[in-house]
Amino acid sequence: MSILQVEELNLAFGGVVAVADLSFAVERGHVTSLIGPNGAGKTSVFNCITGFYRPGGGRILFGGEDIAGRPPYQITARGISRTFQNIRLFNALTVVENVAAGAHTRSSCGLLRCLFRTGRLRCEEREVREKSFHWLDFVGLADYYDYQARQLPYGDQRRLEIARALAAEPQLLLLDEPAAGLNHNERERLLTLIQSILDLGVTVIMIEHDMGLVMRISDHIVVLDYGRKIAEGPPETVRNDQRVIDAYLGGDLDAAAS
Amino acid sequence: MAGRRPTPAVAGAALAAAVLLPVLVRDPYFIELGVQIEFYIVLAVGLNMVAGFCGLLDLGYAAFFAIGAYTTGILMTRAHFSFWLAVPFCILFAAASGVVVGGPTLRLRSDYLAIVTLGFGEIVRITANNLSITGGATGIFGIPPLALGPLLVTSKTAYYYIMLGLALLGVAGAYSLRHSRVGRAWHYIREDEDAALAMGVNTALFKLYAYITGAVWASMVGAVYAVSMTAIAPESFSYNQSVLILIAVILGGLGSIPGVVLGAVLVTVLPELLRGVSTFRLLVFGILMVVFMILRPQGLWPENVRGVFRRPPKAEPDQSLAGGAGE
Amino acid sequence: MNFFWQEVINGLFVGAFYALVALGYSMVYGIIRLINFAHGDLYMVGSFLGFSTLSLLLGRGVGAVTGLALAFVVAMVAVGLLGTGVEKIAYKPLRQAPILSLLISALGMSLILENTVLVIPAWGPQFLVYPFNLPTTGFTLAGATVTYMQVLIFVLCLLLMAGLQTFVQKSIFGKAMRAIALDKDAAQLMGINVNQMVSMTFLLGAGLAGAAGVMAGLYYKEINFMMGFEMGLKAFTAAVIGGIGNIPGTVLGGFVLGVLEALGSGYLGSQWQNVFAFAILIVLLVFKPTGLIGEKIGGRM
């Protein structure tokens, strides 16, 4: 059973069409990759799924419920979490406080409980602390917990963003270009990390330009161009699809893998 | 640049000094000054939660101060409420006004928000100046003093200690909120509102929480102000007042609780030290604002972002997680 | 009906002032996406400079028209330069800083301007009276009284606004300013000196505010160091009504605000005039932040 079903998704800004009649399904426990040339609409799809854009038409079914048009914080509460293409950490705050942001949606103390420091709040604070350090350990950043996020090197910042997203305990994790700017070693670690995430039972959707990474880890690939799906299938099928090759300006997909 | 938190020694010394002041220094001038400092401490701590923690630059904060003072004044003089009965109404009206001010500004950018809140501040002041129930330009006078059982509190020294208590509560409350889900949510909104939304923070709700909390803090000051002064007038709640509170927050350090306490002290004490040149007061503060933004935007005592969580002791390898491989 | 039209005429007249001052806000916002908090105070300084110039010249027996002309020139040039000075001191160093810092710096600048005027002995905290008496002869139009001076000032405002619009549309500087407003980085890559153009924007906007200040002094006769505060808020409201960043829109916004405010204060009572104006601002920002003609604003940053 698909965890996410996108049906006839449409999105336009003024006269410019970003996504046109897009339909695809994401299987539970799989890595589904969204690829395509720049401007193909991939991040727009993410923004629709996570509630930052309201689609002009179509449905996005998550666990059977249409979440299209819901505000982002509700979608996160329902179990979808994300990272951003251009890292959006809370820069002045510490590493651990960043991760604690993910835990926000899984906790519930409101204004009065926080003000009067009730027993329930203290309990919750302990939980948030434990969870935050747990996820920091998971991505290997626990030693840096008290650094400000902006002090971390780039590769570590990407991992921190993933830890933050995981702290929201998602069923579905959206990674937007997680490998961008990473060197070879960091990329290998990313692969291992994604595999660990899958082992937890989390489903992953990934936007990526690194074809090597995409081909190695994906179970299913959806190819977009100008907002439309031009191909779909397992890696072997997609890599040999002529339309896909043409979309990347006649380039050889193997050459595109770095 | 992250700041330091006050050491127990510093905090203890400050507290001791505050408690002993009226005992050691009998001069009523200093006690009066102390009460003023305490007013500004709570106001600055309140505004800090709105502007410092949550990043909402409220330029009309004195309006909430006014609402507390006028609610107390009107209920006590016109409806003959006791102070203690008026307080819940202060809180109620303050919270409501926080929603009224916050609601329209939820989607506004910082500068628009600043001007809208300034507009609200003016609306409150002009309304207070023109309605008969608020006493118009002359305001409300003859507000009865606070009563503790059969005792009527009339001495400045007594109000000094009452406000000291309120200041301690105000500071404690701010610390409690900071180290909780709400305070963290405010910081996330301040740092990157969209990322906060993506992490499940209901930004609209939490922004309202910020306004409500700030409003309640200010209204409590207003309530005590009304009974300690026995008379209130619109001039005390003008734009200038809002600016002074903001200056305390900025000079002290946006987001820093010890910083804004320091700022409150400075904003009250510096003009007194420069008594002879009091017309230059705001000019000096204006220059300081520009200079600080360029040279030291984090303020005199910057916010301490570290140490939010202490690292839990190393536990036994956790059996319940599958594949929790870090490195 | 007499009453209604009188209020409309008065409103249009005041609206011209609002429009003139609002243009400064609008242009600065268009080019550096900042609301210059100190702008209203520039208007105030203009009126004080006009006051001093007139007091000085008329006391020496200089003719009325010459005196007035000089007062305008002095106010416009000096305030224009002051505007560029404010930009260089308080905004330029913070170009890369977060908005909050700029805003606070602008606020500080506003305090500096207000309180400098306050402490200057010749000016000070009192209300000063302009040493010039405008003739009050007029005529009636649709049952409302209009003075020739009102018409003159109104026409002067329109001329200044038209001059600005021509400059922005036709001159090379205007083109550069518009290019920067659209895309600062691309403009720089095309060889446009952004710093210079930003200074020019401030110069023009401040100059207009200075002129408005002198006109206000002449018309309302009393000036005070806090008059810029109120005008600043109103002018900002006018800019938002028409669409900030948009010159014709801002002008329209000025007139709309003037008329609405006059009608509101006429029917509700003049003590509620400002409340009415601010309420309009708030309602507008909630429901139609792009204004009547509109530039896109209000997005989160």
Instruction: Give the 3-state DSSP-derived string for C231-262, with helices as H, strands as E and coil as C.
Output: HHHHHHHHHHHHCCCCHHHHHHHHHHHHHHHH
DSSP bridge pairs for C147 = C138
Rounded to whole angstroms, how far apart are CA atoms A152 and A140? 13
Q: Which residue of B has its CA nearest to C34?
A: B111
| Site of tokens 């005070």 | C224
Cβ-Cβ contacts under 8 Å, C236 against chain B = 115
Chain A CB contacts of B183 below 8 Å: 114
Q: Do residue B327 and residue A111 have CB atoms under 8 angstroms apart? A: no
Is C100 close to B55, i.e. CB distance below 8 A? yes
Task: Name the 3-class secondary structure at C222.
Answer: strand
Q: Flag the least confident range among A17-26, C21-30, C149-158, C226-235.
A: C149-158
What is the secondary structure of C133-193 as a DSSP string?
-----EEEETTEEEEHHHHHHHHHHHHHHHHHHHHHHHSHHHHHHHHHHH-HHHHHHTT--
| CA A41/CA A86 separation, integer angstroms | 16
In chain B, where are the structural domains located? Answer: 26-237
pLDDT digits (tens, 9 = 90+) for A33-59: 999 988 888 999 999 999 999 999 999
Nearest CB among B107, B119, B246 relative to C298 is that of B107
pLDDT score recorded for residue C301: 27
CB within 8 Å of chain C, chain B residues 185-204? 193-194
Chain B, nearest residue to C117 by Cα: B283
- CA pair distance A30, A32, nearest whole angstrom: 6
Task: Confirm if A77 and A113 have CB atoms less than 8 A apart.
Answer: no
Domains along the sequence of chain A with CATH:
1-79+170-258 (3.40.50.300), 91-168 (no CATH)
pLDDT at B2: 61
Q: Is the dihedral of CA B82, B88, B92, B97 positive or negative?
A: positive
Q: How many domains does chain C have?
A: 1
User: d(Cα C232, Cα C224) in Å, to the nearest integer?
Assistant: 14
Give tens-digit pLDDT for C240-286.
Answer: 888 888 888 899 999 999 999 998 888 888 888 888 888 888 888 88
Give φ, ψ of A176 to 5 degrees. Answer: -100, 105
Asked if A113 contacts A120 with a C-beta cutoff of 8 angstroms, the reply is yes
Report the candidate in C258, C195, C272, C220 with the shortest Cα–Cα distance to residue C31: C195
Supply the range of the domain harboring residue C195: 2-127+144-287
Cα B69 to Cα C6: distance, rounded to the nearest angstrom: 40
DSSP assignment, residue C123? T
d(CA A168, CA B188): 15
Contact between residue B255 and residue B146 where contact means Cβ atoms under 8 Å apart: no
CA-CA distance, C82 to B120, in Å (whole number)? 30
Decide: B250 and B288 in contact? Cβ < 8 Å: no
Is the per-residue pLDDT at B254 higher than 90?
A: yes
B309: nearest CB among A91, A108, A132 = A132
Nearest CB to C108 within list B127, B193, B290: B290
For residue A160, what pLDDT band results from cuts at 50, 70 and 90? very high
The pLDDT, as a whole number, for residue C294 is: 57
Note whether C201 and C177 are within 8 A (CB): yes
Q: Mean of the pLDDT values across residues B234-242?
A: 92
State whether residue B307 sits within 8 Å of chain C by CB: no
Rounded CA separation A127/C142 (Å): 75
As for the ipTM of the complex, it is 0.93
Flag whether C touches A (3+ CB pairs, 8 A cutoff).
no
B309–A134: do the CB atoms touch at under 8 Å? no
Share of chain B above pLDDT 90, in %: 68
In percent, the amount of chain A with pLDDT more than 70 equals: 96
Query: Do chain B and chain A touch with ≥3 beta carbon pairs under 8 Å?
Result: yes
User: For tokens 């009206």, what's the residue?
Assistant: B93
* Residue length of chain B: 327
By CA distance, what is A134's nearest residue in B? B324
Inter-chain CB proximity B293 and C298 less than 8 Å: no
Q: Is the dihedral of CA A129, A130, A135, A138 positive or negative?
A: positive
Mean pLDDT of A209-219: 92
In this prediction, residue B106 carries a pLDDT of 92
Least confident of A73-77, C131-135, C173-177: C131-135
The encoded tokens of residue A216 equal 């190695």
- C164 within domain boundaries: yes
Q: Is the pLDDT of residue B44 over 80?
A: yes
> What single-letter amino acid sits at B36?
Q
| The amino acid at C151 | V
Which chains have at least 3 CB atom pairs separated by less than 8 Å from chain B? A, C
* pLDDT above 50 (res B65): yes
What digits encode the pLDDT tens for the residues B142-176?
899 888 878 888 888 899 999 999 999 999 999 99
DSSP readout, B243-294?
Answer: HHHHHHHHHH-TT-HHHHHHHHHHHHHHHHHTGGGGGGHHHHHHHHHHHHHH
The predicted pLDDT at position C179 comes to: 86
Do A100 and B309 form a contact (C-beta atoms < 8 A)?
yes
Beta bridge partners of residue C144, listed in sequence order? C141
β-bridge mates for residue A62, sequence order: A4, A65
Q: Do B197 and A73 touch (CB under 8 A)?
A: yes
Beta strands in B18-142 (DSSP E): 140-141
Task: Tell me the average pLDDT of chain A.
Answer: 91
- Decide if pLDDT at B117 tops 70: yes
B176 interaction partners in chain A (CB closer than 8 Å): 114-117
A vs B: CB pairs below 8 A: 152
- Is C285 in the B-facing interface, judged by CB distances under 8 Å? yes
Per-range mean pLDDT, top range of B218-222, C56-60, C231-235: B218-222
When CB atoms are compared, the residue of A73, A128, A146 closest to B306 is A146
* C261 and C14 Cβ atoms separated by less than 8 Å: yes
Question: Which three-class secondary structure state does DSSP give residue A5?
Answer: strand
CA angle C236, C242, C243 (to 5 degrees): 80
Chain C neighbors of B104, CB-CB under 8 A: 282, 285-286
Candidates C179, C216, C176; CA nearest to C200 is: C176
Say which residue the tokens 């006059």 belong to. C262
Chain A: residue whose CA lies nearest to B209: A111
Q: Cβ(B170)–Cβ(B46) under 8 Å? A: yes
CB distance B324–A104 less than 8 Å? no
Task: Please tell me whether residue A167 adopts helix, strand or coil conformation.
Answer: helix
CA closest to A50 among chain B residues? B198
> How many C-beta neighbours within 10 Å does residue C122 have?
10
Q: pLDDT-derived band of residue A250, with 50, 70 and 90 as boundaries?
A: low
Nearest chain B residue to C95, by CA: B294
pTM: 0.91
**C67 is written with which tokens?**
């005196």
Q: Does A70 touch chain B (CB under 8 A)?
A: no
CA angle C185, C191, C196 (to 5 degrees): 85
The whole-number pLDDT of residue C298 equals 34
**Could you tell me the two tokens for C218?**
């002449």
Tokens of A35: 């690829």
Residues A130-156 as b or e (16 or more Cβ within 10 Å = b) = ebbbbbbbbbbbbebbbbbbeebeebb
Q: Which of A76, A145, A199 sits opposite B199 (nearest CB)?
A: A76
What does the pLDDT read at residue B314?
65
Q: Which residue, chain included where needed, has tokens 């109103």?
A: C234
- Interface contact flag, B109 C299, Cβ < 8 Å: yes
Query: What single-letter amino acid sits at B55?
Result: G
* Residues of B whose CB is below 8 A from A90: 187-188, 191-192, 195-196
What lies within 8 Å, CB to CB, of B310 at 6+ separation is A129
Confidence of residue C96 (pLDDT cuts 50, 70, 90): confident
The position carrying tokens 């000079």 is B251
Asked if B295 is an interface residue toward chain C (Cβ–Cβ < 8 A), one would say: no
Rounded distance between C-alpha atoms, residue B97 and residue B123, angstroms: 12
pLDDT band at B326 (very low <50, low <70, confident <90, very high): very low
B320: amino acid identity, one letter:
S
Cβ of B309 and A133 within 8 Å? yes
How do strand C138-141 and strand A65-66 relate by DSSP bridges? unpaired
Residue B319, pLDDT > 60, answer no
CA–CA separation, A122 and C268 (whole Å): 54
The whole-angstrom separation of Cα B263 and Cα B5 is 15
Contact B232, B73 (CB under 8 A): yes
For chain B, give the mean pLDDT. 90
More confident residue, B26 or C40: C40
Question: For the residues C50-78, what does the mean pLDDT come to?
Answer: 87
Q: Say whether pLDDT at B321 is over 60.
A: no
CATH number at residue C101: 1.10.3470
- Per-residue pLDDT at B324: 40
pLDDT of residue B320: 47
